[in-house]
Amino acid sequence: MKKLSRLLTFCAVMLILGLIACKETTTKTVIQKVKVYPAPEGIELSKNYKVSVESENVPVYTSKIPPNNPIPRLNPNREDYD
């Protein structure tokens, strides 16, 4: 019974300390300004989309990113994936 009492006391203290720590971290405000880098030379930017973050325009690229591995349904040699 004494072990159970100690365990409950320990759990209660940890809960209270955790709540205090959470309150302290949520009351602190971190303000950072967004850094927008220009698009590289020769890269075509999208004409369909415009993105802005904190009132700064962000370049939107039109390039497609190929997958790391071929997509099996697009590969005519399906036996390579069995």
- What is the tens place of the pLDDT at every residue in 68-80? 776 666 656 656 5
| pTM for the full predicted model | 0.40
Question: Are the CB atoms for 56 and 41 separated by under 8 Å?
Answer: no
Among residues 59, 60, 52, which one has the least CA distance to residue 34? 52
For every residue of 9-63, DSSP letters joined together read: HHHHHHHHHHHHHHHHHHH-----PPP-PPPPTTPPBPSS--EEETTEEE--B--
- Tokens 């300004």 belong to which residue? 33
More confident residue, 46 or 69: 46
- Per-residue pLDDT of 49-66, as tens digits, reads 899 888 889 999 887 767
Q: In the predicted model, what is the mean pLDDT of the chain?
A: 76
At 27, the pLDDT band (50, 70, 90 cuts) reads low
